[in-house]
Amino acid sequence: MRHQREWVSRDRDLSPGNPRDSATEPALDECERGRELEELVVVEARDAEVVAREPGERGHARERERSSGPVCANASPHARSLGRDENYTRDRLAALVRTKLREILERHLRELPPGRRLRQDLATASIERFADGRPLHVLDAGSGEGLLATALGRSHPDWQVDAVDLSEKALALGRDLAAERNASNVRFQRGDVTEPLGTSVYDAAAALECLLEIEEDEAALASVARALRPGGLLVAHVPERGWRPLLRSSRPAWKLEVRHGYGRDEIAALVEQAGLRVVRIIPTTRGTLQLAEELRDRVRNARVAVRAAALPIVRAALLLERAGLTWGPARGFYVEARKPLEADEPVPGATA
């Protein structure tokens, strides 16, 4: 804390009663001088704290980065007087690269919650297998930011994908994401999935995020089923009724949910009630993936470097889940169902 002590002593030297001050320097307004000195103390104390926390060359590198970071406009007058911002304005390309890398990292951190990534991968594989090379008209019901819709639209330019959600904010984020990834075949619409979505409009539909958050889940599933063409595919994901957050920090949000999940027989009965035939139900999100997801939530508001460190853990947990190398009970169920070609005709491969 040497710098802090120096500036404090300099504060004493610049006091109004100091003879050297009155003889050699013009008088300063007392309030202005106080603000200036307070700023110097804060800046130098912060830099000293960085060095104390990370000694050696790494600490001094962090000190230089902290005091002359890419956000030069926010540097203090004292920092600018020392030329710290000039170190970065000389190399604007480096600052631009850092900014772009930060934006890319932020996007990956937003898109890669492990449970959501697993659901998206399962749904994408099911819909592509169902398409078998032909173009589809796909509904993403309760799409949120439209990650699934955008992924499908980008991978299959000949498909038409409709993303429907009640949140205009989420839809705006989805439109930006689709434009960024050149997925012009994705259409975002504000709508309530419990209301009619059309009749025999879509070849396939996904309901990966919405059933847990809707009180009228029967009406929502019936509306989606009605919008499917005969023989159409529904993929859905729901949490398992008995799951509990592993971490205490996740429990307050869990308590506020509309419902805490479904039993396997319960979700199968709900799908059948909507006029569909269950093809398969896969238990998902066991202990390994659940723990990785909750750890990621814990560092959501941490610095970018800390959150970036979670990415390898997320990916490793996802690979272990896919390979079946996990532990504990399932946290959710992934459901595939088909709409019969005729009212009394069962779908091949369906299970009761």
pLDDT band at 77 (very low <50, low <70, confident <90, very high): low
Select the more confidently predicted residue: 186 or 256.
Answer: 186
What is the distance between the terminal CA atoms of the chain, rounded to a whole angstrom?
A: 72
Q: Which of 79-93, 204-218, 290-304 has the lowest mean pLDDT?
A: 79-93
CA dist 237 → 17, 75, 133, 196, 332 (Å): 74, 48, 24, 21, 7
Percentage with pLDDT > 90 across the chain: 36
The pLDDT score that the predictor gives to residue 166 is 92
Contacts of 345 (CB under 8 A, 6+ apart): none
**Spatial distance between the Cα atoms of 339 and 231, rounded to a whole number of angstroms:** 5
Report all structural domains of the chain as residue ranges with CATH numbers, in order of start.
2-90 (no CATH), 107-134+192-338 (3.40.50)
Instruction: Give the mean pLDDT of 161-188.
Output: 94
Q: How far is CA 120 from CA 232, 294, 318, in A?
A: 19, 18, 12
Burial of residue 248 (number of CB atoms within 10 Å: 0-12, 13-18, 19+): exposed
What pLDDT shows up at residue 27? 42
Q: What distance in Å separates the CA atoms of residue 304 and residue 307, rounded to the nearest whole number?
A: 5
pLDDT tens track for 12-66 = 444 444 444 444 444 444 444 444 444 443 444 444 444 334 444 444 444 444 4
- Banded pLDDT at 259 (limits 50, 70, 90): low
pLDDT at 273 (0 to 100): 95
**Segment 86-125, tens digit of pLDDT:** 444 456 777 777 777 777 766 666 656 777 888 899 999 9
Q: What is the mean pLDDT of residues 271-291?
A: 89
Nearest to 293 by CA among 266, 320, 269: 320
| pLDDT confidence of residue 256 | 59
Neighbours of 220 (CB within 10 A): 23
Question: What are 125-140's pLDDT values in tens digits?
Answer: 999 999 999 999 999 9
Residue 296's pLDDT is what? 76
Q: Please write the tens of the pLDDT for every residue from 221-241.
A: 999 999 999 999 999 999 887
- pLDDT at residue 195, as a whole number: 92
> Hey, what are 198's tokens?
């059309």
Alpha-carbon span 328 to 326, nearest angstrom: 7
